[in-house]
Amino acid sequence: MAFEMRPKVLLFGAGSVGTVYLWLLSKVADTTAVCRSNYEVAKRDGFIINSSIFGQGIRFRPEVVRDCEEAATKAAGAAYDYIVVCSKAIPGVVPKLLAPVVTPGKTAIVLVQNGVGIEQEYMDTFESNPIISAVVYLPATQRPGGIIKHGEVEKLQIGAFPASASSESAKAFAALVQIAGGTAEFCHDVQPQRWFKLLVNASWNPICALSLSKDTAVLESCNEATPVLLAVMMEIRDIAEAHGYKISKEQVEFQLGRAQARIPTQAGIEPSMLQDVQTGRRIEVEAIVGNTVRMGKSKGIKCDRLEMLYVLAKSLDLHLGRQLSA
């Protein structure tokens, strides 16, 4: 698919994942990023990406703004084609912040985030805009602000939300990422891919965050660890199946096997929820665990282990919130 004009893209959330897509998209689109804690450093020095895939020491200086009001002023009446949301999926916050930069009937909102049930609030707020749901594989960290370390995978699986909506914008966005040199697959319905990734996120993210451990360290902690991880993943699988997304036991074992395979090289992963706890930030407990538990209970699925993880992670999130406001 060829693009006659460079699309206009606003990135909301220039963190670990967002900065890598900002850099890629800046090759093929006019890009601006809404930054928060890293605004000063990004404005002054730009970003540095050290990527196992794209190369080390990649420096770039994007246009940055402090908020969507400033982004709207900067656009001077021109519509953004895409708003790419790469902030953490915390319900009830972002849609109202985006309002100044969303042109009704035109701007497509692309959610590059983990979790399930994250799209509906955008649909409810922007009824006439395309909503694009993207599942992201891109292990990355930002430490300190402006410096991104990216590991060995970069992949987006992209579909319209809901799957029955027009796929035109989702296909065009997937093509844009591909032209930029990224990996993007268009999916007619991306929800099965969301659930497949959720096997990893709803299990490993809270377990690593609660234990302050990398995934491989959890597996090596005691004999009970591997069967418990498998049992949690099987609960997630049962919930997915009850909602029409079939995942085989072999696929569950494959997901668990990815961490097991990294034990000999000690190449453990720090999921983003663990990174958030380590840096005192709120965690994506509702998008990743709470929604899953509620969707399980709505179908009468037994998910005691996941429910326990939800209660513990929710308490941890509220504790982090109290610390932030103290």
Ligand X SMILES: NC(=O)C1=CN([C@@H]2O[C@H](COP(=O)(O)OP(=O)(O)OC[C@H]3O[C@@H](n4cnc5c(N)ncnc54)[C@H](OP(=O)(O)O)[C@@H]3O)[C@@H](O)[C@H]2O)C=CC1
Ligand Y SMILES: CC(C)(CO)C(=O)C(=O)O
Exposed/middle/buried for residue 142 (C-beta within 10 Å: 0-12, 13-18, 19+): buried
> Does residue 51 bind ligand Y (CB under 6 A)?
no
Q: Single out the segment in contact with ligand X by CB under 6 A; choices: 7-15, 98-106, 163-171, 185-193.
A: 7-15
- For residue 16, the partner it binds in ligand X, ligand Y, none, with Cβ less than 5 to 8 A by kind, is ligand X
- For residue 200, the partner it binds in ligand X, ligand Y, none, with Cβ less than 5 to 8 A by kind, is ligand Y
Among 205, 216, 291, 292, binds ligand Y (CB under 6 A): 205
Q: Which is nearer to ligand Y, 172 or 229 (CB)?
A: 229
Shortest spacing between CB 135 and ligand X, in angstroms: 8
Residues 36-65 that bind ligand X (CB under 6 A): 36-38
Residues 205-244 that bind ligand X (CB under 6 A): none
Half-sphere exposure of 161 (CA within 13 A, CB side): 28
> Does residue 271 bind ligand Y (CB under 6 A)?
yes
- For residue 229, the partner it binds in ligand Y, ligand X, none, with Cβ less than 5 to 8 A by kind, is none
> Does residue 60 bind ligand Y (CB under 6 A)?
no
The percent helix, strand, coil of the chain (3-state, each to 5) is: 45, 15, 35
Do the beta carbons of residue 232 and residue 309 sit within 8 Å?
yes
> Does residue 272 bind ligand X (CB under 6 A)?
yes
Which three-class secondary structure string do you get for 96-155?
HHHHHHCCCCCCEEEEECCCCCCCHHHHHHCCCCCEEEEEEECCEEECCCCEEEECCCCE
In eight-state DSSP terms, residue 266 is T
Measured from each CB, the residue nearest to ligand X is: 15
Among 34, 65, 75, 116, binds ligand X (CB under 6 A): 34
The DSSP string of 13-52 is --SHHHHHHHHHHTTTSEEEEE-STTHHHHHHH-EEEEET
- For residue 192, the partner it binds in ligand Y, ligand X, none, with Cβ less than 5 to 8 A by kind, is none
Residue 170, both tokens: 């989702």
- For residue 34, the partner it binds in ligand Y, ligand X, none, with Cβ less than 5 to 8 A by kind, is ligand X
Q: Single out the segment in contact with ligand X by CB under 6 A; choices: 84-92, 177-185, 243-251, 309-317.
A: 84-92
- For residue 269, the partner it binds in ligand Y, ligand X, none, with Cβ less than 5 to 8 A by kind, is ligand Y
Cross-strand partners of 134: 112, 158
Longest dimension (CA), the chain: 61
Q: Which is nearer to ligand Y, 62 or 192 (CB)?
A: 192
The Cα–Cα gap between 30 and 10 comes to 8
Total residues binding ligand Y (CB under 6 A): 10
- For residue 14, the partner it binds in ligand X, ligand Y, none, with Cβ less than 5 to 8 A by kind, is ligand X
Question: Which residues have C-beta within 8 Å of that of residue 93, sequence separation ≥ 6?
Answer: none
The Cα–Cα gap between 262 and 246 comes to 27
Q: Which is nearer to ligand Y, 215 or 307 (CB)?
A: 215
How long is the chain?
326
Residues that bind ligand Y (CB under 6 A): 114, 137, 139, 200-201, 204-205, 269, 271-272
Interface contacts to ligand X, rule CB under 6 A: 13-18, 34, 36-38, 86-89, 97, 113-114, 136, 138-140, 142, 272, 284
